[in-house]
A and B are shown apart, each in its own frame.
Chain A
Amino acid sequence: MMQNWLRRLYFGVVALFIAAPLVVVLGVSVNQKQDLTFPPKGFSLAWYSQIFTDPEWRSALIASLLLALSSAAIAVSVALPLSWFLWRRKAPWARIFQLLGVAPFILPPVITALGFLTFWATTGFYGQPWTAAISHAIFFVTLPLVTLSLGFASIDNSLVEAASTMGADDRTVARTVVLPLILPYLVSGYAFAFVLSLNEYIIAYMTIGFTMETLPIKIFNALRYGYTPTMAAVSVFFVALAALVFGLIAKFGDIRKLLGAMGSEVR
């Protein structure tokens, strides 16, 4: 009885710690006037509509979405053949590419960011929008790599063998048996990379920070020149979007299994 009560209290304190800053930001974002006050004075959703109507915020939103969509797609396109090869073939030295895929994610991000900055500056492409897409893709390739490796490992071998026995060649097996089975893992890998790319600051800033603004860059720049409730509205929007995406992954897949495997992959 006592123990149960203590547990509730502990969970409550952690939940409060995690939710507190977000609740304040939510409150601030519905202020009627352009004030930083909490509890909010008046109620207005005008700051939310400004994300879509104000040309600067809208172009930052579009830039962020395009960057996240394309970089997640490139990340999956790199991770899929690599994880397939590691599953299908016995080639121990190929593990080095798996290590290369995980390395940028484990090192402090500023290092990867500086690596890209020097690279793009040396090759003369510094500031081009597509450089950020490639940089993000390499940085986040870890996520689809981990989910896809898990997906391949969970395939029941007898299904694949049955298909081969019935005369299907490698290509047919891949298309009709393997692909449908790993599709959920592919989607969640894409979703992880998408959400994290949407929120990433330092790499985007070091690669394209001087030519265009993504939403995190825009928020940080706005933070320097004073406060607008639109920043709060964008933050709430991002939290909601992340919760939605991860909620969907949890609904259609087993997020506990996914996270259980991720931890062991990192170690």
Chain B
Amino acid sequence: MRREAPNSLADYGPLLYPAVMLVVFFVVPFSTMIAVSFFKRDPAGFYKTDFVLDNYARFLTTFFGSVLGFSLMLAVLVAICCVAIAFPFTYLLTKCSRKVQTVWLVCLLSVLSLSEVIIGFSWSTLFSRTAGVTNLLVAIGLMSEPQALLPGFGAVLTGMVYQALPYTILVLYPALVRLDPTLLEAARTLGSSPVRAFFNVVTPALRNTLVATLIMVFVFALGSYLLPQILGRPQHWTLSVLITDQAIYQSNMPFAAAMAVFLVLISLALVGLTLLVGRKENAA
């Protein structure tokens, strides 16, 4: 159909309801949150209207600094692990038959949609002393006694990689499906092995995609709030956990809001960077 510019006010009719919904229930709550981040805490209720910068000043403490540092470090580590596992995997997946691809995609979507609660519970069971993976090692004689592998940093990292891996694969999938097959054919004709062709031709061709994926997985991992609580100790808590904790248990909504605004700024800056990287790739 030929697309037409809207002529009369009535032509805008269909846009009214979605626009109202998105503005009232996304733009307004978001702005409310920004406003609340400048308010004062009220122990009796939610907050008192005010304009103070105290909530932001609290960022300068060493405690907050260490939580922020840990969150960023953890998210970077998760992003690197996920892309390192997912990139060769997704590449091989796109070379499979349609049927194999479909089965894998259905499984990955199912795991991706799983609640963080369920992922946390599953891994806490797998790492537990009574039902865990160490029982298997005892059974084949590699260990003398079953052990609990949690709480600990390794458990948090494993759980978060598990949560982010399907996401990583599904983000990489479209770029790898569209990869020009003649690139690879040329490399093969010139005599390079498939493994060499993958590292010397496919990887450089998708360098920007890889950077964009790393950033997206990083933002995704920043949002993890339950796994550090279920699988880690308090020193493994991330900024997201701290925000929930302040908002719900310490009933300090203004401070929670200030931290959330800060997290938005970090995420937005990174998403912006992704878009920039993506644009360069399209231009090239």
Contacts and interface: CB of A to CB of B under 8 A. Distances in A.
A264 B175 CA distance: 8
A183 interface: no
Nearest to B46: A121
Contacts, number: 270
A100 B1 CA distance: 26
A100 B26 contact: yes
A89 B4 contact: yes
A36 B271 CA distance: 42
Interface in A210-267: 216, 219-220, 223, 231-232, 235, 238-239, 242-243, 246-247, 250, 255-256, 259-264, 266-267
Interface string A59-97: 000000000000000100111011011011111001001
Interface string B105-138: 1111111011111111111111010111101000
Contacts of B175: 263
Contact of A246 (B11, B25, B109): B109
B88 interface: yes
Contacts of A78: 17-18, 21-22
Interface residues of B, number: 96
B194 interface: yes
Interface residues of A, number: 95
Nearest to B119: A21
A17 B30 contact: no
Contact of A134 (B25, B131, B174): B25
B226 A220 contact: yes
Contact of A114 (B110, B118, B125, B243): B243
B115 A111 contact: no
B130 A35 contact: yes
B78 interface: no
A199 interface: yes
Contact of B117 (A201, A206, A243): A201
Interface in A1-22: 3, 7, 10-11, 14, 17-18, 20-22
A135 B216 CA distance: 23
Most buried by A among B110, B170, B274: B110
26 contacts: A14-B85, A17-B165, A21-B122, A22-B122, A24-B132, A78-B21, A82-B18, A87-B3, A94-B15, A97-B18, A110-B240, A111-B243, A114-B256, A117-B253, A121-B46, A160-B1, A200-B115, A202-B225, A223-B120, A232-B121, A235-B121, A238-B114, A239-B111, A256-B177, A262-B170, A263-B170
Interface of B: 1, 3-6, 11, 14-15, 17-19, 21-23, 25-30, 32-33, 36, 46, 85, 88-89, 92, 98, 101-102, 105-111, 113-126, 128, 130-133, 135, 162, 165-166, 170-175, 177-178, 194-195, 212, 216, 219, 222-223, 225-226, 230, 240, 243-244, 247-248, 253, 256-257, 260, 263-264, 267-268, 271, 274-275, 278
